[in-house]
Amino acid sequence: MSGLVLVQQIASVALIVVGVVFLLGGTVGLIRLPDLYCRAHAVGKCDSAGAGSLLLGLMLHGGLAVDDLRILVLVLLILLSSPTTAHALARAAHNTRPASGLPGREGQR
Amino acid sequence: MITLLWAVATLLLVMSAACLWRADVGPTIQDRILAGNVVGTKTLVVLVLLAVIGGHAFLMDVAIVYGLLNFVITIAATRLIETGRLGGETPS
């Protein structure tokens, strides 16, 4: 195994492990945090960072190939869609406030 | 290396099951949508893992379509909750 392949494998495993740790953090945040704003905050960041890092690790895993372009498209899609989704959900909860039962800016608990 | 990828896929499925608990008990409808969105993202990653493990390149196309559908469905449901309708201009 040449040096370059070794560096590539180590980087791939490191990115995959970092991605799993971020996704685990996002899951714990989704389950444990007290209201929707906190949960959207945890999920919007940990999901994009975790899935993006894991997919980049998978891209490095097999060497360079045509399939890597599709994984790159997926990474860009996740980086765009996950924070947008979290923001849209939090805004919907904030704009339908009496029905959603969440505090607004003036109603801090 | 393949063992690591299988372990990651299994762990992601366990985490998806944990997210389904939030989708069950979540007090507001937005909590349920958020949990479903997280499950969708993890499913996408598991599909790419299966594509890399087994060498099935078509599973990556399935993952791309899955991600796009996940995004569009979530945004549409959010808009339906917020404004009560799906088309037209947002009332200001």
pLDDT tens-place string over residues A4-51: 888 888 999 999 999 999 999 999 999 998 888 899 999 999 999 999
Place of tokens 């891209």: A59
In 3-state terms chain A splits into helix, strand, coil percentages (rounded to 5) of: 80, 0, 20
Rounded (5°) CA angle B10-B30-A29: 45
Residue A50 is assigned to a structural domain of this protein: yes
Give the amino acid at A1: M
**Which among A36, A71, A85 is the nearest to B48, CB-wise?**
A71
Domain residues for the domain of A59 are: 9-94
Count of residues making up chain B:
92
Residue A82 located in a structural domain: yes
Q: What is the pLDDT of residue B6?
A: 94
Tally the domains of chain A. Answer: 1
pLDDT tens-digit series, residues B8-37 = 999 999 999 999 999 998 788 889 999 999
Closest Cα in chain B, distance from residue A20 (Å): 7
pLDDT for the residue numbered B1:
79
B5 chain-A contacts, CB cut-off 8 A: 16, 58, 61
Whole-model pTM: value is: 0.86
Contacts of B63 in chain A (CB under 8 A): 74
Predicted ipTM beyond 0.90: no
Quick check: is A2 in a domain?
Answer: no
Question: Which pLDDT tens digit goes with each residue over B46-67?
Answer: 999 999 898 888 899 999 999 9
Whether A69 is in a domain gets the answer yes
